[in-house]
Every structure is written in structure tokens, then in C-alpha cells.
Chains A and B, each alone.
Chain A
Amino acid sequence: MSRRGFAGGGGAAAARPAAFIPGGHARVGRGAGRKDMSSDRVGGGFRGSAERGVLIGQENELRALLSSGLAGSATDYRLFLERLGPHLRAYFKGKLARSGRAAPEAEDLVQETLMAVHTRRHTYDVGQPVTPWLYAIARYKLIDHLRRTRASLADVPVEDAGELVAHDDHAAVESTLDVERLLGQLPGKMRQAIRAMKVEGLSVAEAAARSGMSESAIKVSVHRGLKALAAMAGGKGE
């Protein structure tokens, strides 16, 4: 695995422009995503010229932002971190889903890697491509994380592990911020009920006891609130 780079390919990557998925991943089919990173040329060896164009574009963009950031531009540096976030998230999610891990772990890894990139930014050699550098850090943090949490994984029953993989929680984690924003637009009672039950995970009885509403009122609020949220998230409420 060590010589594989960020190779986006297939439909999964096309739907998400942030293609940070290494070759050999289950979702990357057609063999187009396989890329030997032992050469420093990013993009060489790809069959689809469109994919190559996207990857080279990403490399050039990240490289330009980081170089300008390291030269002293705080705005470009921040933009670099912001652009990097989705790449890392896609990468870790793909990797963790394969080993049956939950999405919040991916977010932890994204943050850990962003911090590592920040504190070790001086190890980037400006003359070299930025993608292999980033990939090496992400991979190192992933292996470190898997090694550290191996003991706790052993405690998880196999049936539960199957459940984790079966869940497609991709949208759930990525849009945490948006949910908070959307929740803010709901009437108070609905917001309270949804936050208690869907975000904090309380039962109907607990939510009712805390808010002082009846259980049926909670249920109705959640139902209506979710409907309103779905409408807003679908763009109808904007």
C-alpha cells in the first residue's frame, strides 16, 4: 500500500471533486486509479485525461496555496487548510469504512492530520510535489490511529461491526455545521425536541421530562421539525 498515491477514479470520485482516494480502494474501479507514487510526477500514468486534469489541478492549487502560505500569506495558508479538509475527510472515511470504523473517528483523524500538517509544515520541501507529502502524513496518522485503537476494536462484537459498515453516514457527519444552522431556523419547541432526540440521542421519555412537554407533543415536534429540516436541506426553505 505504501506506494499508492491519491488516485481518484470511478464514479465515487467524480461525484465528489475532492478525490483523495488512494488506488486500490474498493470504490475505485477500472484500474484507472492505480498510480505508482514512486515517481514524483503527479498525474503521469492515468488513462483518463479528465481525471488527470482534476488531480493535477488539485496538486497545483494546493501547492500554490501552501507555497504562498509558507512565504507568509496567512490568507492563503488558511485557504490551504480549508481546501485540505474535504480531501482528508474523503480519504479517512474510505479507509475507515473498510476496517469497519465509524465516521466520527474519521473527523478526529482529519483534525489530527490538520494539526500535524500545521505543526510540521516546515518539513514540506517547496521544490517537491505537495500531494505525496500530504498523503504520507495522512497515512502515518491513520496507521498510528489504527494501531492505538486496535485493543478497543477487539471488544466490539462482530455483529456491531457489520452495522457500522452498513450505515452510510457520509452525509450525517459532513453536514454537522449545516444542521446546526438549519436547526437555528426552526421554532423553539421543534428545535429543542430534535436536538434532544436526534442530536443528543435521548429517549422520548427523557426528552419529555427535560423539556416539560408531553411525550406525544415531543413526537409531533420531532416529526414536524424533521420534515421542515428536510425541506430546508433540500433547498426549498432557502
Chain B
Amino acid sequence: MKTDELIGLLGASFASEPAKSPGMLRRIALGAAIGAAGALCLALLALGVRPDLGEGKSLTFLLAKLAFALAVGGLALRYLGRIARPGGERRVHLGIAALPFAAVMVLAALSLANAPAAHWGTMLTGHMWLECLISIPVIAVVPFATLMWVVRKFGAPTDLVRAGALVGLASGGVSAMGYAIHCMDDTVPFIALWYGGTIALCTLAGALLGPRLLRW
């Protein structure tokens, strides 16, 4: 086919379809909201709300975990909205997306420095580190699937590794919010190590799967 004929065809198909102007960020936010709802349902059904809510500092720590997860997920979604467009990788700063991790690690180091060395082991591993290690990546599958679908359907990323990594990062953050409702380990070093670690794992999975899932 001659290129001029193709242009004619494309022009004709344009005239028959009305122009649509969806906000990329809005679509991604919608995908994330659906994924978050799914993750919340999964966390509530499989794990349930922590029984000690309202005792001691449990509410404070629940809010701290939610804030960390929200910061991670929010930044990742913001940059995902950019990287989903061709050439958007120029406007993505992964260093900024990693800021919540840096912040929580600084807080963890401070909290460890203020505690006797004998407590460090329990502060880091908590009671349920294995449950956290398994739950966050498993719950993350739901937002991961919805976000990948949205980017695949409505986006056109040209840096598939980073786009996949941001999908993983965002779904890890959303998943951590779901798990935080159940999690009873209330130390900052635990959040830094196990929340941070599992979210990084989700990011890595996204970076590896991105080139396969997001090709267009």
C-alpha cells in the first residue's frame, strides 16, 4: 500500500470516529481505584482487620503505614500518568518516587538508634514478617493487573521497563495499604524493611514483566 493511500484511509477513519480526549491520569487513577477496592476486599476477606484497633498506639501506626503506602502509591501513579505517553520518560524522576523509602529508612535508623541494641532483632522482624512478605506481593496482583490493563489499553509507553516498574511500585503501595489494616507489627524499622522490601519486590517484578505486557 502506498503511504498516501494509508494517510487517506487514516483520515477517513478519523472523520468517522468522534475525537476523544480522556485524561490519562484520570484513567490511571480509575484503574488504581478499582485495583485498590479489589485489594481491600482481598485483605479483609483473607486476613481481616487487626483485632487490637483502638488500643495503645495501634491507630497511630496504622495511619503511619497508610501514609507511607499512600505516598509511595501516589507518587508512582503520578509518574505513571506521564510515562504512559510516548516520550513521557523524560518527565519521570525515579529518584523522587523513591523519596518515601528514603524517609522511612531515616526514621527507622533514628528509631533503632534510640533503642537498646538488644531490641533491634524484634524491632526488625516483628511477629509476622513472613505473613507480610507473602501478603503484600499476593494482594498486589489485583492492582497490578488493573493498572497494567489500563496502561496497555489507553497508554503508549516508550520505556517499557520503567513503565512496568512504576506499575509495580504503584500496585505495591496500594497493596501495602490493604495489608496495613491487618498488620499488627508496630515498629518503624519493620515498616522500612518489610513494607519497603516487598514494595521493591513488586517494582522489580513490574520492571521484568513490563517489556512483555506493555508492548504495542
Contact = CB atoms under 8 A, between A and B. Distances in A.
Interface of A: 2-3, 37-38, 69-72, 74, 77-78, 81-82, 85, 89, 107, 110-111, 114-116, 118, 120, 122-126, 132-137, 139-140, 144, 176-177
B25 to A, nearest CB: 10
A81 B158 contact: no
B85 A74 contact: no
A124 B21 CA distance: 9
B114 interface: no
**Most chain A CB atoms below 10 A, which of B18, B88, B158:** B158
Interface in B129-186: 154-156, 158
Interface in B1-27: 1-4, 6-8, 10-11, 13-15, 18-22, 24
Contacts of B88: 136
Given A123-B85, A140-B86, A177-B4, 19 more contacts: A69-B19, A70-B19, A70-B21, A71-B19, A74-B11, A74-B15, A81-B10, A114-B10, A115-B6, A115-B10, A116-B216, A118-B14, A120-B216, A124-B85, A133-B85, A134-B86, A136-B88, A144-B215, A176-B2
A59 to B, nearest CB: 14
B19 A72 contact: yes
A135 B88 CA distance: 11
Given A71-B19, A120-B86, A137 B156 contact: yes
B90 A38 contact: yes
B158 A139 contact: yes
A122 B21 contact: yes
B10 A137 contact: no
B6 A111 contact: yes
User: Which of B15, B19, B22, B89 is packed against the most chain A CB atoms within 10 Å?
Assistant: B19
